[in-house]
Amino acid sequence: MHKAFEVTVLGTSSASPTKYRHPSAQFVRMEGEYFLIDCGEGTQLQLTRMGLRMHRIRYILITHLHGDHFFGLPGLITSMGLHGRSDKLTIAGPAALQPVLEAILACGETTLPFEIEYIVCDPNRSEEILVSPALKVVTVPLKHRIPCTGYILKENGPELKLNVAQCEKLKIPVQSYDAIKSGLDYVQDNGTIIPNAELTLPGNKNRSYAYISDTIYDETVAVAVRDCTVLYHEATFLHELEARAKETYHTTALQAGKIAAMAGVSQLLIGHFSARYNDADELQTEARNVFANTEVAEEGKTYTV
Amino acid sequence: MHKAFEVTVLGTSSASPTKYRHPSAQFVRMEGEYFLIDCGEGTQLQLTRMGLRMHRIRYILITHLHGDHFFGLPGLITSMGLHGRSDKLTIAGPAALQPVLEAILACGETTLPFEIEYIVCDPNRSEEILVSPALKVVTVPLKHRIPCTGYILKENGPELKLNVAQCEKLKIPVQSYDAIKSGLDYVQDNGTIIPNAELTLPGNKNRSYAYISDTIYDETVAVAVRDCTVLYHEATFLHELEARAKETYHTTALQAGKIAAMAGVSQLLIGHFSARYNDADELQTEARNVFANTEVAEEGKTYTV
């Protein structure tokens, strides 16, 4: 049985929020852990409206320091403190995030009753910033007007199931089972190798969720997110505004579809829509022309990875 | 005819917003000028929802640097810039406001297409921070956990009307009319004094709006807001939590009613309610027991001063 791996969209606007769209934020549940990706202004209220409990969030991943991606962070952190959080919170983001957050809290003489651990992302290279037996988080360097990092959240468990009957028959010691499930061959004391394929059966494929916002159209992103299960990619403009997208380091819906198709992902979610589009139908149609399994990210909706 | 003097309430929560209450912010229209008082997280969205155009705001008055009173300011200012504002914006608040706002904008490499003029309020004394022939804004030092300033917005026009028939009969030169309307006597070339009362009639009384949040119960506030038309006073708790109010430097609804009664204001508006109160009926009842003309501030509602 797969564990829940779900993404709830909290905001789909770009820089200017509208009456119906909040700035970027997503709540992700994976392997029993809760992540918030980006935290635009009003995120704490969106969480409350959607019945998502802020105290569950253990990791916050911030892509970059434009306001529509982090202006909700001081308020969220302050509220976590007011609600008596004591668990450590881990925040990943650019180097400038920690000093500015500390300056904001200091000017209100706010002290938090919990520890914040900061992970500084290098905007120029991909890094594994979190690794556990169950999951990992990998960064994707993005090309935007300021240092910017995408994130891939991946299940990290063994993709092979033990062929228990066969292992017992061959008297494989139980303490070797984990190594075998991870894909290694078994080596007997006399040097005989029992190939992994004889000891395992295909299991669940690890799923992955890539969050790519904000970026100019950049085919290296397709390489980085290759074979991800679900790709969230910004699609700020329709392709008729390609020049505007390039100038502002954003992507068109058509280009987002191209990245998804090149990367061979299973599903594309698009968001970060310019305020000029009252509804996102045209953006969806445009992306679907290139990559059929495209969905428009809708606020309040939960997507299964 | 009175010019419009109106207050639209954008937020009525205290530190923790709820599903139904946003943090502090009020939009005030007086003498054709538009003010924003406090700017909690989500204020720009509240303005949009209520059809209030952010570009009209010329003055922003911030009481103090707790998040529920200013975490919406970076987003509002950024959006003003994105929407092409070119008019100067004047922001009044504590000394620490300008550096923290500049640090927040700098980390996103945001440059604004308009000038911001900062007025630093001295939290320890009352000052006239804005004065024009039509209006003035006066600060009220408040006692809170950090430096905090209330504001009184006052009409500043002449309260006397000219008795034109009498002035013409006495051959008063037109260039002396303004001095007479401001209350001065007229002095003829031969030294004869014509008392002001012979030349004027009672006109409109200048109205005033006092915004008092956040503060411990403090009777010096009643002195400062004496005879104001409408007093907005925080009423975070019911009086059964008087000890908690004192400890956190807040006021109870009963105490807010007392301040209004002592000050002799015409109307009391209460707000800044603790998240523990789902509705504000009890708070209203408690304040009305002391001061009958009390209204609960409701988000989206406009009050005439």
A11 & A44 share domain: yes
**Tell me, what DSSP letter sits at residue A244?**
H
A178 & A288 share domain: no
Calpha distance B129→B115 (Å, rounded): 18
Instruction: Assess whether pLDDT exceeds 90 at residue A151.
Output: yes
b/e sequence B281-291, b meaning 16+ C-beta within 10 Å: eebbebbbebb
Cβ atoms A34, A80 nearer than 8 A: no
Instruction: Assess whether pLDDT exceeds 90 at residue A278.
Output: yes
B32 & B180 share domain: no
Identity of the residue in B19, B48, B65 whose CB atom sits nearest the CB atom of A108: B65
A73 & A112 share domain: yes
The sign of the torsion formed by the CA atoms of B264, B270, B272, B274 equals: positive
Q: What is the pLDDT of residue B110?
A: 93
B148 & B264 share domain: yes
CATH number of the domain at A15, please.
3.60.15.10
A190 & A286 share domain: no
CB within 8 Å: B49 and A19: yes
Identity of the residue in A16, A45, A65 whose CB atom sits nearest the CB atom of B82: A16
Query: A116 to chain B, minimum CA–CA distance in Å?
Result: 18
Q: What is the pLDDT of residue A187?
A: 87
Q: What is the pLDDT of residue A1?
A: 56
Boundary residue ending a domain (B201, B230, B253): B201
A166 & A218 share domain: no
Average pLDDT, chain A: 95
Which of the two residues, A191 and A237, has the higher pLDDT score?
A237
A109 & A11 share domain: yes
Please give the residue range of the domain that contains residue B178: 160-201
Which residues from B are below 8 Å from A64, CB to CB?
108
pTM for the full predicted model: 0.90
Q: What is the pLDDT of residue A179?
A: 86
B114 interfaces chain A, CB cutoff of 8 Å = no
Q: How confident is the model at residue B183 (pLDDT cuts 50, 70, 90)?
A: confident
| Average pLDDT of the residues in A78-106 | 97
Which residue of chain B comes nearest to A73, CA vs CA? B71
Q: How do beta strands B193-194 and B148-155 pair?
A: unpaired
Which residues from A are below 8 Å from B108, CB to CB?
64-67, 146
CB within 8 Å: A41 and B75: yes
Q: What is the pLDDT of residue A265?
A: 96
| Average pLDDT of the residues in B101-107 | 96
CA neighbours within 13 Å on the CB side: how many for A293?
Answer: 11
Q: How confident is the model at residue B1 (pLDDT cuts 50, 70, 90)?
A: low
Instruction: Assess whether pLDDT exceeds 60 at residue A172.
Output: yes
CB within 8 Å: A107 and B83: no
Which residue of chain A comes nearest to B40, CA vs CA? A75
The ipTM value here is 0.86
Cβ atoms B236, B274 nearer than 8 A: yes
Whose tokens are 């092979």? That residue is A160
Selected catalytic residue, list B38, B68, B214, B218: B68
Q: What is the pLDDT of residue B29?
A: 97
Q: Is residue A68 annotated as a catalytic residue, yes or no?
A: yes
Long-range contacts at B284-288 (CB < 8 A, ≥ 24 apart):
B284/B253, B286/B238, B286/B239, B286/B252, B286/B253, B286/B254, B286/B257, B287/B235, B287/B253, B287/B254, B287/B256, B287/B257, B287/B260, B288/B257
B83 interfaces chain A, CB cutoff of 8 Å = yes
Q: Tell me whether residue A171 is exposed, middle or buried, using C-beta atoms within 10 angstroms of its C-beta: 0 to 12, 13 to 18, 19 or more.
A: exposed
A93 & A225 share domain: yes
B175 & B63 share domain: no
Q: Which range is least confidently modeled, A38-42, A286-290, B192-196, B254-258? A: B192-196
Q: How many domains does chain B have?
A: 2
Strands (E), A41-84: 57-61
Percent of chain B with pLDDT over 70: 99
Q: How confident is the model at residue A37 (pLDDT cuts 50, 70, 90)?
A: very high
B96 interfaces chain A, CB cutoff of 8 Å = yes
Boundary residue ending a domain (A201, A230, A258): A201
B49 & B182 share domain: no
Which residues from B are below 8 Å from A46, CB to CB?
none
CB within 8 Å: A48 and B83: no
| Average pLDDT of the residues in A172-191 | 89
The amino acid at B128: E
pLDDT, one tens digit per residue, over B120-145 is: 999 999 999 999 989 999 999 999 99
A149 & A294 share domain: yes
Which residue of chain A comes nearest to B63, CA vs CA? A108
